[in-house]
Structure 1
Amino acid sequence: MSNQLEQLIRTAEQLASAGRWDEAERVWLEVRRLHPQHPKALFSLGVHALQRRELAPAIELLCAARAVAPTDPVILMTLVNAYAQQGDRDAEREVIESVLALDAYFLPALLARAHWMERYGRASAAAAMYRNALKVAPPPSHWPAQLKPQLQHAREVSELYSAALSKHLQTKLAEARAALEPSVAGRWDEAAAIVTGRSKPFVSESNQLLVPRLPAIPFFERSQFAWAAALEAQTDAIRAELLAALQSQRDRFGPYIAYGKGDPVNQWRELNHSTRWSAFQLWRGGVPVHDNLQLCPVTAQALALVPQVDIGGLCPNAMFSALAPRTHIPPHNGETNARLVAHLPLIVPEGCWLRVGYERHEWKVGEIVVFDDTIEHEAMNGSDELRVVLIFDVWNPLLSPAERDMVRAITAAVREFG
């Protein structure tokens, strides 16, 4: 009997795969005659009835299949579809919840729950559920074909809801925001963006040393750095040295990203060993590049005004960073939040920007910007011209002198052990 059943099941599945539905259904009927409670036969016959929109017989068969195989997600989700077509909202919801009780992260059931909420007038709850489903889903490039339309709809609903909520918050919070100091207003713009789902929380993620309990501040106030004005005053002279280097020493601008063969390059694939993002190094990994420093004496003297971050093997770093036209530096994180990264913009066409966490900044020639590069950041040259900034390291001003000594000590001890 079992061999006969197995052969019939294979035949039915092959016929269905070939689109020969009537023949497949006849074989499934024979399977059921031999084994009245066979779950595949009950399920398949229920699907055939559903295709003909014979909803009552389909649901009866699918319920019988569920009774035999109560944890089969395919049977359960097909029953959800049948109840949805029948308009039995309570039965549909019961089956959806039973699937999620088995697996709270089962994507088709999360989408079904959101769709149920949307159809029955619970717009806010539906948008939140769609957002949760999108968190569980793989990246859009890997969306399963059978779920792609639902996921696209989920994204559209989420975006529309976020836009509407953002507009509502902007109106309702205008008076309270106007009362804030400019230095803290940005954090509340970001808080609203997180509430609406337009942004996510950004935290410090260090590739080497993470100093715990330091706040993740994207951009620091210029007033926190006593040396800033003196360095900015040298902008024209530093820019002149840069232009001279671009004119006569272009071969010294090497690729900033230079992973070796076999190294995982991840987001750096397009820029690896590419001069689209190049650097004229002045200090690198704590070591001065003497030949380049001699070519740029004004820049070297200006950098001497800055208290150097001396973390052995890591800092200081300083360079002219050149970003070619129409080039994007993808999101990434830096080495340690003990140091910050400073930019002195020298050549900045329109269409160039830097994003750190939630905040987006547009460089202005001669105006220092200091940020925590362990917060996810990216940059873009959207123009048809070269963009160049002077990049250098500074200490995080929230660290005391004794803590700076600890930074040096812990990194040295790790290197010694390694």
Structure 2
Amino acid sequence: MTDDATTALPATAEQLNRHALTALREGRFDEAVCGFRAALALDPRAAPLWHNLAHACRLNADDAGEAAALDRALAIDQRDLLAHVRRAQLLQRCNDESGAFAAWSAVRQLTQNGPPLAPAMADQIAAGLAYFAALEQRLTGRVEQAMGQPDAALDPAEQRRIAAFVDTALGRRRTYTNVCAGLHYPFLPADEFFDRHHFPWFAQLEAEAPAIRRELHALLDDGDSALRPYVRMSEGAPANVWSALDGSLDWGACFLWEYGVANQPVLDKCPRTAAALAAVPGTMLPGRAPNAFFSLLKPHTRIPPHTGVTNTRAIVHLALDIPPDCGFRVGGETRQWVAGQAFAFDDTIEHEAWNHSDQRRAVLILDCWNPHLSDHERAAIARYCAVLDDTMPSALGRI
């Protein structure tokens, strides 16, 4: 290109782009690169121009130039799918497996549940994701071989965390965070199921499970009027995920304690259960806690995914009547109840339950302090709640 030809180039970014596109179609790749760069000097926020420059660099075998142009396009829009695809293809061509793995992973995330793609783009992405899957399979195999069988010297909590770490690192498990409708206490671990060693009193509670179960059955056989729908939406509330259970005994509850108030008639009918609850080092907050109730889930009923009120507490389930085909998920971990056994979880992490059987499922549910809180922190929370309730009594019933 002569100096005269350079001075004769059109002046606007659009004209420069058209001239460069013509050079590109005619195989004059150096001239196309120069033309796109000149256009970008006039309009550096034009993402399509960066795409054109990247394409020209690609045809001109300039990997560094293509990478730089794609990075500029992504700096304008981090959700630029075409730029992500071209960047992943570039890294794959350059045999940068680690970089290509991360880049195709980003493409996969962008296209999940997205709108339909043009056939040509869909084919390119499918080819890239097939390459990604092969890398993922190879990595997974080597990681699993390196990790080997669980070390017998590890306790169950360590084994569970190691397994969750590997699954998260390999993209097989999502990380969930606390979503609190009420009080959120900072810096507590966002663990889905609390380790059993935090609750040395579980053994005593579980020893009472047969007696608690008998008392529940006697209560139900008497047709106790204390049984009520767990979900009771306010009149006029808009339709939501709870509408199917609103006012229904498909998910029923019989409270022994509710917001720190004893349901004495039910406690009187269930003396062994009352004694077992009295032995639990629970949360004592007037007007707020403890809470304890029999939770009954009818056959073929599902409790939708939801989150709770505060991460200052742990929710305990003591399994009583557990038919097959029941399950409980908290975050990325699913468990089956085992009759007579207890577990504790953080209900501010998304959780759901289901009963796909033809029989009723029954558990005793109670709350206690989050085990990661010190005694001083628990006292501070209690003082705050007391002031809040004294200042704004309408807040009663929410922790």
Q: Could you state the TM-score of these two structures normalised by the residue count of structure 1? A: 0.73
% of aligned pairs identical? 34
- Distance across 1 between alignment mates of 2:208 and 2:268: 17
Instruction: Give the deviation of 1:223 after TM superposition.
Output: 4.7
Instruction: Give the deviation of 1:402 after TM superposition.
Output: 3.8
Aligned counterpart, 1:299: 273
Instruction: Give the deviation of 1:264 after TM superposition.
Output: 7.3
Q: Does 1:234 align with 2:208?
A: yes
Q: Does 1:359 align with 2:333?
A: yes
Instruction: Give the deviation of 1:88 after TM superposition.
Output: 4.1
Q: Say which SS state the counterpart of residue 219 (structure 1) adopts.
A: coil
Q: Say which SS state the counterpart of residue 317 (structure 2) adopts.
A: strand
- Deviation string 1:347-375 (CA, Å, 9 cap, x unpaired) is 22223222334433221000111223233
Structure 1 residues 330-349: aligned runs within 5 Å: 330-349=304-323
- Deviation string 1:299-338 (CA, Å, 9 cap, x unpaired) is 3333222233112333111112223444443443332333
Aligned counterpart, 1:283: 257
Structure 1 residues 35-114: aligned runs within 5 Å: 54=25, 56=27, 60=32, 63=36, 69-77=43-51, 80=54, 86=59, 88=61, 90=63, 92-114=66-88
- Distance across 2 between alignment mates of 1:46 and 1:169: 48
Aligned counterpart, 1:310: 284
Q: Say if 2:327 and 2:337, in contact at 8 Å, map to a contact too.
A: yes
Q: Say if 1:343 and 1:369, in contact at 8 Å, map to a contact too.
A: yes
- Deviation string 1:158-201 (CA, Å, 9 cap, x unpaired) is 66644543332221122784543333121111121222222244
- Deviation string 1:285-307 (CA, Å, 9 cap, x unpaired) is 22223444444444333322223
Q: Say which SS state the counterpart of residue 320 (structure 2) adopts.
A: strand
Q: Does 1:123 align with 2:97?
A: yes
Q: Say which SS state the counterpart of residue 187 (structure 1) adopts.
A: helix
Taking a change above 3 Å as real, the CA distance of residues 40 and 265 of structure 1, as seen in their structure-2 partners, is: farther
- Deviation string 1:255-301 (CA, Å, 9 cap, x unpaired) is 33333356577654554555443322222222223444444444333
Give structure 2 stretches of 5+ with no counterpart: 1-8, 393-399
Aligned counterpart, 1:26: none
Give structure 1 stretches of 5+ with no counterpart: 1-34
Structure 1 residues 127-138: aligned runs within 5 Å: 127-133=101-107, 137=110
Aligned counterpart, 1:219: 193
Q: Does 1:385 align with 2:359?
A: yes
Between 243-252 and 164-173, the greater mean CA deviation after superposition: 243-252
Between 225-234 and 61-70, the greater mean CA deviation after superposition: 61-70
Aligned counterpart, 1:171: 145
Taking a change above 3 Å as real, the CA distance of residues 95 and 215 of structure 1, as seen in their structure-2 partners, is: closer
Structure 1 residues 199-278: aligned runs within 5 Å: 199-247=173-221, 249=223, 252-260=226-234, 268=242, 271-278=245-252
Q: In structure 2, give the amino acid aligned to 1:364.
A: V
Taking a change above 3 Å as real, the CA distance of residues 118 and 253 of structure 1, as seen in their structure-2 partners, is: farther
- Distance across 2 between alignment mates of 1:145 and 1:55: 33
- Deviation string 1:237-268 (CA, Å, 9 cap, x unpaired) is 32233334445538754333333356577654
- Distance across 1 between alignment mates of 2:55 and 2:238: 44
- Distance across 1 between alignment mates of 2:150 and 2:319: 34
Taking a change above 3 Å as real, the CA distance of residues 321 and 155 of structure 1, as seen in their structure-2 partners, is: farther
Q: CA RMSD in A?
A: 4.0
Q: Which has the higher contact order (CA 8 A, sep 6+)?
A: 2
Instruction: Give the deviation of 1:217 after TM superposition.
Output: 3.9
Pairs aligned (count)? 377
Q: Say which structure is richer in helix.
A: 1
Structure 1 residues 322-333: aligned runs within 5 Å: 322-333=296-307
- Distance across 2 between alignment mates of 1:341 and 1:198: 26
Q: Say which SS state the counterpart of residue 110 (structure 1) adopts.
A: helix
Taking a change above 3 Å as real, the CA distance of residues 37 and 145 of structure 1, as seen in their structure-2 partners, is: farther
Q: Say if 1:356 and 1:376, in contact at 8 Å, map to a contact too.
A: yes
Aligned counterpart, 2:395: none
- Distance across 1 between alignment mates of 2:165 and 2:367: 29
